[in-house]
Structures are given as C-alpha cells and as structure tokens.
Structure 1
Amino acid sequence: MHSSAPATPPAASYRERLSPSLWVLVSAAVCGPMVALVLAPLDSVVGLLAGITVGALVVAGLIALSPVIEVSDGRLRVGRASIELEYLGDIETLTGDDARQARGPGLSPASWHMLRGGIDGVVRVAIEDQDDPVTHWVFSSRTPIRVAAVIGSARAATDFPAHEA
C-alpha cells in the first residue's frame, strides 16, 4: 500500500576529514626505519617487523585522529565541537591572502578556531547565540565554498533563516 504523503527531502550533508598532507605522512613514516635501525643490532627480522609496524601505526594514527568537518542532522561539527545550524549567522569563505589574514592577524580572541597547516581555505561563521561568548567559528577546509553551500542548503531545508555573505 502506498502513502500519498509527500516524502521529506533529505537534509544536506557534508563530511570532510582534514587529514595531514602527504609530506607530513611521509615524514611520520620515517619513524619506522628509525625503530628498525635501533632494533637491528638485536635481531634484524624483529627490527624490520617492528619498524614496519611502527611506521604504519603512526601514519594510521595521524589519519584516524584528524579532525572532521560534518554538516548533518541540523548540526555543524568541526572536530569535537558541535553547534546547531539555527545559531549560525553570516558565512564567509576565504582563500589566499584573505585566509592568511583570517588565520593570523585577523583572528579574534573571541572566536573559536580549528586551523590546520597546509590547508589554504578558511570558513568563518558568525555565531548568533546570545548565551555563547564565542562570536565566530573559524576553521580550515579544503573546499570552503562547498561547506558554506551545504550549510546554506541544510538551513533552507530546515527553515532556518539564511545569513550568507
């Protein structure tokens, strides 16, 4: 039996892991050969196996512990922080010199930030919760325009007022 009730459109969702750059991962993998060299005088096979294991674990740990940006279920999550979309105000997407300014001299002490080296894009979102001492969220993103678009779409789907800049 089919229902004639309209289906609820799925809310916009987005997920981005801010994993380290390739150079950071390669640098971290150097831990493996160092462990192998330390253990080689005791037993070369054990040293080699321990080196491979340590290198793989360090790289896997860096990737697994990388912060995630997620927009879903009416919330914006950046790393361990989370806020409902209804409290978000104007959204700015910044790249190049504007992003450098936002990450450095333009970073307000009243803002919450999660910035990653090697990622150029920055998203700055105003917080409109009167009980929250934080005025803005400033965070890195490889695709800041897409993050802003998904937040705007999710807010429109849940009937929150749009405040995009």
Structure 2
Amino acid sequence: MQHSATPYEERLTAPRSWWLISFLVGLALALILLPFGTLPMLGGLVGGTAAAAVTASAYGSVRIRVVGDLLIAGEAKIPVAALGDAEILDAEEARAWRTYKADTRAFLLLRAYVPTALKVEVTDPADPTPYLYLSTREPERLAQALQAARAAA
C-alpha cells in the first residue's frame, strides 16, 4: 500500500456549545432528583453531565482519512480507484444535497453542524452507491488528497 502525497485526516468534532448543553442536561437531571435529597441530586448532576458528554464525544469522534489508496469515512473503507470526480459543496449546496437533492442510495457521512461538504462520485459499476456525501470543514483539502491518492495509485 502506497502513501498518498497529500495525507488527509479530519475529525468531525462536535461544536463547543454541545459541551455546555451536556452540563445543562446534568443540571436538569439534578433538578429532577432534588426532591430525593442532596446525594441523588449530585449523582444526577455528575451522571447526567457525564452521559451527555460521552454521547457528544462519540458523535463527534467520526473521522475522514485518506490513507494510501483508501478513503476511510467513518466505518466505510473505499478504494480511491472506485471514486470519480469530487464536487466541493458550499453551505447552501451541501444543505440541498442532504435534503431534496439527496439520493437514497448514496453514502452520507453527515454532521449538520459542519456546513460544507464534498460530494464524490462512485465509479465502480458493481457498487449501487451513486456518490458519497462527506461533511468536511476542509472540502478543498480533501478533494486534493483524493486526487493525489488517485494519481499515486
């Protein structure tokens, strides 16, 4: 396996506001448990905050990587040879492609809090997936990494 000339890795981390929301979930649980005493209230604060933070962290832990001749997007591993043209989507186009323009057969790795995306055509005739929709904060860099990996393959 060769390594691409333009390595790429991105973690689609959750926004900072989600950590505040995690604390607010814990606070809400603490208020719910307040009638049962101080210890249950503190347990609710700690447990609720921790559970919400783990959920936010897990949702934001998905990665997009170009490693050698593979595109790894979340759990999917796709050879770059099976990919065609990449289209950089600004916020407006990305919204359109994840709503009314979306194809139900497409592979969507989307995070609504990431406004831009890359749409990559799938050229493998054995694969019914027409395209990949990848939420990314750096669509230009991802497109360049895919192009470099395809050229190196």
Using structure 2 for the length normalisation, give the TM-score.
0.84
Residue 35 of structure 2 aligns with which residue? 41
Which consecutive segments of 4 or more residues in structure 1 shift more than 4 A? Answer: none
Larger radius of gyration: 1
CA deviations 1:58-109 (Å, max 9, x no partner) are 2133212332212113211212222111111101111032222222222223
CA gap of 1:47–1:23, structure 2 versus 1, over 3 A, is: same
Residue 74 of structure 2 aligns with which residue? 79
CA gap of 1:14–1:108, structure 2 versus 1, over 3 A, is: same
Q: Counting helix residues as a fraction of each chain, which structure ranks higher?
A: 2
Instruction: Give aligned pairs, total.
Output: 151
Structure 1 residues 92-131: aligned runs within 5 Å: 92-131=87-126
Report the alpha carbon displacement of residue 110 of structure 1 after superposing the two structures with TM: 3.2
Residue 52 of structure 2 aligns with which residue? 58
Provide the aligned C-alpha RMSD in A.
Answer: 2.2
Cα separation, 2, equivalents of 1:30 and 1:92: 39
Using structure 1 for the length normalisation, give the TM-score.
0.78
Report the alpha carbon displacement of residue 46 of structure 1 after superposing the two structures with TM: 4.4
Question: Are 2:20 and 1:26 equivalent residues in the alignment?
Answer: yes
Report the alpha carbon displacement of residue 10 of structure 1 after superposing the two structures with TM: 4.3
SS in 1 for 2:36: coil
Bigger relative contact order, structure 1 or 2 (CA pairs below 8 A, ≥6 apart): 2
**Is this contact kept in 1: 2:114–2:135, CA < 8 A?**
yes
CA gap of 1:109–1:42, structure 2 versus 1, over 3 A, is: closer
